[in-house]
Chains A and B, each alone.
Chain A
Amino acid sequence: KQEVTQIPAALSVPEGENLVLNCSFTDSAIYNLQWFRQDPGKGLTSLLLIQSSQREQTSGRLNASLDKSSGRSTLYIAASQPGDSATYLCAVRGGGGGSNYKLTFGKGTLLTVNP
């Protein structure tokens, strides 16, 4: 069974700081990994998807890396802003034996960026 863990559970930083969110998964036989943002009481906004054959993806101030063999991904946020405050979720597709379509989610990292 695929398990996804995110560390830390919560993070509070001053505006302008660069930060790293961590995600680990137990089964490396994944198809891809997605990072999402969730605002309180809202839906999930996809930020980045990394295919299993890729090492990293970039979108604006966000950079996600993937080390499939060690079961790890990081999301790097540069020059954080108060508007980045949200819960960041990591999800993997595949792994856990026979799973093709479902995303398995971590519990998320609650990020607070203080002005």
Chain B
Amino acid sequence: EPEVTQTPSHQVTQMGQEVILRCVPISNHLYFYWYRQILGQKVEFLVSFYNNEISEKSEIFDDQFSVERPDGSNFTLKIRSTKLEDSAMYFCASSERGTSGGPPSTDTQYFGPGTRLTVL
């Protein structure tokens, strides 16, 4: 069964450094997402991406964050200058469709295993 994959599984960085988190969405999916989960807290939406542009972003997704689909398979999240409070598990997700009404499988957001980011 196709899966969303993420690399690395764990990233440790110093405060102020730039990090790039990588994701390979499911191959026929068109909508891509990043979420994060701070330890002990809810999963929070960061951004959605379709047709090479951001379709929706949260208030968390400020100028320090950017997303890119550099080629036909990868989807990346860049944090320009990491802060201590960016420490979290970052999840990439993808879905075949972004609008609802079709079969559940086409609207389901499938999540990757996550990248644990630790900012020291």
Contact = CB atoms under 8 A, between A and B. Distances in A.
A115 interface: no
| Chain A interface helix/strand/loop/mixed | strand
Nearest to A48: B104
Contacts of B44: 105
Contacts of B74: none
B34 to A, nearest CB: 10
Interface size class of A (residues with CB under 8 A): 20 to 34
Chain B CB count within 10 A is highest, among A43, A46, A49, A52, for A43
B75 interface: no
B25 interface: no
B101 interface: yes
A80 to B, nearest CB: 23
Contacts of A100: 55-56, 98-99
Contact of A107 (B31, B35, B42, B104): B42
A18 interface: no
Interface of B: 31, 33, 35, 41-45, 48, 50, 55-56, 58, 91, 98-101, 104-105, 107-114
A71 interface: no
Contact of B108 (A46, A89, A104, A108): A46
Given A36-B111, A105-B42, A50 B104 contact: yes
A100 B98 CA distance: 8
A46 B110 contact: yes
Given A31-B100, A89-B43, A43 B111 contact: yes
Contacts of A89: 43
